Amino acid sequence: MKPEIVVLSRLGPPEVMEALEASYQLHCLWEASDWRAALMAASSARGLVTTGSLGADAALIDALPALEVISINGVGLDAVDLPAAKARGIAIGYTPGVLTEGVADMAVALILAASRKLVQGDRFVRDGTWAGGEKLALGWSIRGKVVGFLGFGRIGREVARLLSVFGISALYHEPEALEGVAADYCSDLAAMAEASDVVVVCCAGGAATRNLVDASVLKALGSKGLLVNIARGSVVCEPDLIAALQAGHLGGAALDVFADEPQIPAALQVMENVVLTPHIASGTAETRLAMGRLVVENLAAYFSGKPLLTPAPMDGL
Ligand code: 8YV
């Protein structure tokens, strides 16, 4: 008998779904019109596959009494109730490392999209404004600028490495200074923003970072500054962001993540100096395949009695 697992959202690459189907009896929740009924039908499920953004809250964990392992298709752990899982002795796997490059590439793409007005320019061409004789206002160059990183883990460091080609100077903010990194530490986030042309949010989500980027940080980044977020919407106080953009206290924003996805405030949607993407920083075929394979490998390790390849850190819980 194949073990039963619940899968919350279809994982993109067909190879991944095929691998899951080959080894498990799947409860595909995205196909269910009634989640509650689907979860009740999955009461024997021993595994759960979820995403970084969907996670697994205490209610979902409670609804699965036979749950033994959660395999997350993502690196973010903020949407998983880790204490609830730990209390039940549930093993948790996630996908660190394999999405670092994909997400870092997206941060660079967002910086270039905003600074070189790629999206605005595309609209300008398509809607006939260019043909009507108007000129798009000038963009600006990232070359030689100062980029501040809120969070300087794997992803932040990879973004900094990529941007080094443009001759940027890198600053970073973390709770503590890090050993051996090629960037200058700023203990004060607002001071880092003040010294930066661009701030890239690359820290983990969750209570420790909620609303860290608030009105004071945005004002410090300034009327020419660009905020890029490829981490979690929760790190940026969205009402403060909207107010700063509307007041001209902030130059622009390039955002892949939002406070209440997929709901995006209407105010952001009408701003020309804002680039919006639908949480796709890890969304390349290559990255999603690598993530999906790791999701499958973590489950396979668990069900064959081996340690997970990439267990979520549970220390201190
Ligand atoms: C994706 C993410 O949203 O890794 C994460 O934490 O947020 C992203 O990679 C998602 O989890 C892919 O399914």
Q: Is 27 a catalytic residue?
A: no
Tell me, in angstroms, the distance from the centre of ligand 1 to residue 288's CA.
Answer: 9
Q: Using a cut of 0.90, tell me whether the model's pTM lies above it.
A: yes
Give ligand 1 pocket residues (Cβ under 6 A). Answer: 51-53, 73-76, 99, 279, 282
Tell me, in angstroms, the distance from the centre of ligand 1 to residue 180's CA.
Answer: 28
One of 232, 238, 288, 297 is an active-site residue; which one? 232
Distance CA 193, CA 186 (A): 9
Where the chain has pLDDT below 70, the residues are none
Q: Is 36 a catalytic residue?
A: no
What is the predicted pLDDT for the residue at 115?
98
The three-state (H, E, C) secondary structure of 70-115, written as one string:
EEEECCCCCCECHHHHHHCCCEEECCCCCCHHHHHHHHHHHHHHHH
Domain-wise residue ranges, the chain = 4-94+285-304, 99-276
Tell me, in angstroms, the distance from the centre of ligand 1 to residue 282's CA.
Answer: 6
The 10s digit of each residue's pLDDT in 271-298 is: 999 999 999 999 999 999 999 999 999 9
Q: CATH number of 99-276: 3.20.20.70, 3.40.50.300, 3.40.50.720, 1.10.540.10? A: 3.40.50.720
Nearest-atom number in ligand 1 for the CA of 282 is: 9
Q: Whose CA is nearest to atom 7 of ligand 1?
A: 52
Q: Whose CA is nearest to atom 13 of ligand 1?
A: 51
DSSP the chain: -PPEEEESS--SSHHHHHHHHHHSEEEEGGG-S-HHHHHHHTTT--EEEEETTT-B-HHHHHH-TT--EEEEESS--TTB-HHHHHHTT-EEE---STTHHHHHHHHHHHHHHHHTTHHHHHHHHHTTTTTTT--PPP----TT-EEEEE--SHHHHHHHHHHGGGT-EEEEE-SS--TT-SSEE-S-HHHHHHH-SEEEE-S--SGGGTT-B-HHHHHHH-TT-EEEE-S-GGGB-HHHHHHHHHHTSS-EEEES--TBTTB--HHHHT-TTEEE--S-TT-SHHHHHHHHHHHHHHHHHHHTTPPPSSBPP-TT-
Pocket test for ligand 1, best of 282, 284, 296 (most atoms within 8 A of CB): 282
What is the predicted pLDDT for the residue at 316?
73
Decide if 90 contacts 309 (C-beta within 8 A).
no
Tell me, in angstroms, the distance from the centre of ligand 1 to residue 52's CA.
Answer: 4
Q: Whose CA is nearest to atom 11 of ligand 1?
A: 52
The dotted CATH code for 4-94+285-304 is 3.40.50.720
Nearest-atom number in ligand 1 for the CA of 232 is: 7
One of 15, 21, 134, 261 is an active-site residue; which one? 261
Q: Is 15 a catalytic residue?
A: no
One of 238, 279, 288, 297 is an active-site residue; which one? 279
Do the domains 99-276 and 4-94+285-304 match in fold? yes
For residue 308, the tally of other CB atoms under 10 A from its CB is 19
What is the predicted pLDDT for the residue at 276?
98
What is the predicted pLDDT for the residue at 266?
98
The 10s digit of each residue's pLDDT in 162-186 is: 999 999 999 999 999 999 999 999 9
Tell me, in angstroms, the distance from the centre of ligand 1 to residue 278's CA.
Answer: 11
What is the predicted pLDDT for the residue at 12?
87
Pocket test for ligand 1, best of 73, 230, 296 (most atoms within 8 A of CB): 73
